[in-house]
Amino acid sequence: MSELTVLYQEVRTCQKCILSEGRTNAVPGEGPEDAEIMFIGEGPGFHEDRQGRPFVGAAGKYLEELLAKIDLTREEVYITNVVKCRPPGNRDPEAEEIEACRPYLDRQIELIRPRLIVTLGRFSMQRYFPGASISRIHGQPKRVGNVIYYPMFHPAAALHQPRWRSLVEEDILKIPELIAKLDEIEEAEPDIPQAEQLSLF
Ligand code: URA
Ligand code: SF4
């Protein structure tokens, strides 16, 4: 059994925060163990909680449409959330719930080692861009070592806000360039320190 599978089992029985009380199923995340791209959303909604899988409701369908625009399928990327259990009534996750759940996401990133981390919505953005405003920084990549962090609007929000919808669609179209950039970086500077932050474009 892989370390990631062990982690999934831990998440499924986790009781480290109050969200464990209302869940039907915890939703650890899914995708290839060596995925190059990781998408991080907010938390499971109704359908995700029922099925134990991330992004399977309306937002998920829209995410799949966005991926199709850049010739990707959901099976090719890793998809997870900042909290693994559904907040009651889809309320925002509380800071202490995000904190309790953080080690699982940390571990997923350590094991998968994605090159591009796409944050969907405010809560995952805060992990990498603390204090930032999503309307200001969406679509602007930040490179740290040989990883790129890329903030986007949440697909559920974009679905309901026509103005954000066109922005999210513009932002997704930049992903192939970012991947190409990563390949260039790797060729030019294979030993770049992970922690050093460098400007990108
Ligand atoms: N919204 C999220 O943020 N995550 C999901 O898994 C589904 C909807
Ligand atoms: Fe555990 Fe995270 Fe679920 Fe809270 S949200 S119970 S920390 S898995």
| pLDDT tens profile 46-74 | 999 999 999 999 999 999 999 999 999 99
Atom nearest to 41 CA in ligand 1 = 3
Burial class from Cβ neighbours inside 10 Å (0-12, 13-18, 19+) for residue 121 reads: buried
Question: Over 50: is that where the pLDDT of 201 sits?
Answer: no
Residue 191 confidence class, pLDDT cut points 50, 70, 90 = low
Residue 6 C-alpha to ligand 2 middle, in angstroms? 15
Residue 85 C-alpha to ligand 1 middle, in angstroms? 10
Amino acid at position 23, single letter: R
User: What domains are there in the chain, each with its CATH number?
Assistant: 3-197 (3.40.470.10)
Write down the pLDDT at residue 192.
55
Residue 66 CA to residue 171 CA, distance in Å, equals 10
pTM, whole model, 2 decimals? 0.94
Atom nearest to 154 CA in ligand 1 = 3
Torsion of CA 135, 47, 37, 165, to 10 degrees: -30
Write down the pLDDT at residue 186.
78
Residue 192 C-alpha to ligand 2 middle, in angstroms? 34
| pLDDT tens profile 124-166 | 999 999 999 999 999 999 999 889 999 999 999 999 999 999 9
Residue 94 CA to residue 102 CA, distance in Å, equals 12
| pLDDT tens profile 82-97 | 999 999 999 999 999 9
Q: Alpha helix locations (H) across 130-201?
A: 134-137, 155-160, 162-172, 175-188
Residue 191 C-alpha to ligand 1 middle, in angstroms? 35
Residue 90 CA to residue 195 CA, distance in Å, equals 35
Which of 66, 81, 86, 125 is the best mutation target for the ligand 1 pocket, counting ligand atoms within 8 Å of the beta carbon and taking the most? 81
